[in-house]
């Protein structure tokens, strides 16, 4: 293997966490969908781990894989207009360093987590509220959450969800009144 390529992999792997997705794919800020796709193909040709399967140096192969995964990640986020817009906003803000990678925030506590509710009634009502929410019945969801808060007035998950549902309901009421006029 080419010594220059080895150096490229070592360097890139060491600075990977400090690059944004445009830098990873070597794209200009205004890159089009087509540009993004071409860059993804070009980079994959160079860094696809299949090219190094069975290579003796495991550490080197792991670095190639890490680079290729980041290339794929960059492509996935940038090719979608909505996520690209959000990403561009995040990386041009003051907390740029924290947002170089697309990371999901926990929206709901994990299911197997204890301590979501301290009372059985509260948990049940919360579960029912989520079911109503998923079915699009906002009013019923809000009612269930208010009941859940009666049993556990200080539960932050319930309160946060109740606020969110109330907001959704106001928005839908507004949309309804606009369309009826």
Partner 1 sequence: MSDAIAVGIDLGTSNSCVSVVTPSGRPLVIPNEWGETVHASVVGFLEGGAVLVGNEAKRRMADDPRNTVSSAKRIIGRYFFSEEVRRARERMPYEIVEGPNHSVRIKIRDQLYTVPEISALVLKEMKELASTHLSREVTHAVITCPAYFNDNQRQATRDAGRLAGLEVLRIINEPTAAALAYGYGKGLSQKVAVYDLGGGTFDISILELGDDVYEVLSTAGDTYLGGDDFDARIVDYLVARFRDRTGIDLRRNTWCMHRLKEAAEQAKILLSTEEVADVVVERICKDPSGKVLDLRDRITRQQFVTMVLDLVQRTFKVCDEALQAARLTASEIDAVVLVGGSTRVPIVREGVAHYFGKEPLGDIDPDHVVAVGAAIHAASLMGKEAGTVLLDVTPLPLRVATVGGFTEVVLEKNTPIPIERSKIFTTSRDGQEKVRIEVLQGESALAAECESLGSFEFSGFRKANRGEVEIEVVFEIDNNGIVNVTARDRETGKQAHTTLRLSSGLSAEEIEEKARRIQGVRLARGTG
Residue 33 CB neighbours (<10 A): 12
73 binds partner 1 (CB under 8 A): yes
Q: In the set 84, 90, 143, 157, which binds partner 1 (CB under 8 A)?
A: 157
Following DSSP, what letter does each residue of 14-45 receive, concatenated? HHGGG--HHHHTT--TT--HHHHHHHHHHHHH
104 binds partner 1 (CB under 8 A): yes
Asked if 38 and 71 count as a contact pair (C-beta separation under 8 A), the reply is no
Least distance CB 128 / partner 1 (angstroms): 8
How far from 81 is each of 31, 36, 99, CA to CA, in Å?
Answer: 12, 12, 17
Q: In the set 18, 53, 59, 120, which binds partner 1 (CB under 8 A)?
A: 53
Of the listed pieces 12-20, 24-32, 111-119, 166-174, which binds partner 1 according to CB under 8 A?
111-119
49 binds partner 1 (CB under 8 A): yes
Asked if 40 and 71 count as a contact pair (C-beta separation under 8 A), the reply is yes
Which residues make up the interface to partner 1 (CB under 8 A)?
Answer: 37, 40-41, 44-45, 48-51, 53-54, 65, 68-69, 72-73, 75-76, 101-116, 123, 126-131, 134, 157
């Amino acid at each position: 293997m080419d010594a220059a390529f080895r150096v490229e992999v070592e360097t890139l792997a060491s600075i990977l966490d400090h690059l944004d997705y445009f830098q990873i794919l070597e794209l200009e800020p205004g890159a089009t969908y087509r540009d993004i796709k071409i860059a993804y193909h070009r980079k994959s040709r160079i860094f696809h781990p299949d090219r190094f399967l069975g290579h003796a140096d495991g550490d080197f192969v792991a670095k190639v894989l890490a680079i290729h995964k980041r290339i794929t990640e960059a492509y996935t986020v940038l090719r979608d207009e909505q996520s690209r817009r959000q990403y561009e906003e995040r990386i041009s803000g003051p907390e740029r360093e924290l947002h170089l990678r697309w990371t999901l925030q926990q929206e709901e506590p994990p299911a197997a987590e204890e301590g979501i509710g301290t009372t059985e009634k509260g948990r049940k009502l919360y579960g029912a509220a989520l079911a109503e929410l998923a079915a699009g019945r906002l009013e019923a969801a809000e009612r269930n959450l208010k009941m859940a808060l009666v049993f556990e007035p200080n539960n932050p998950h319930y309160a946060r969800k109740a606020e969110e549902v109330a907001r959704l309901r106001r928005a839908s009421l507004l949309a309804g009144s606009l369309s009826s006029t």
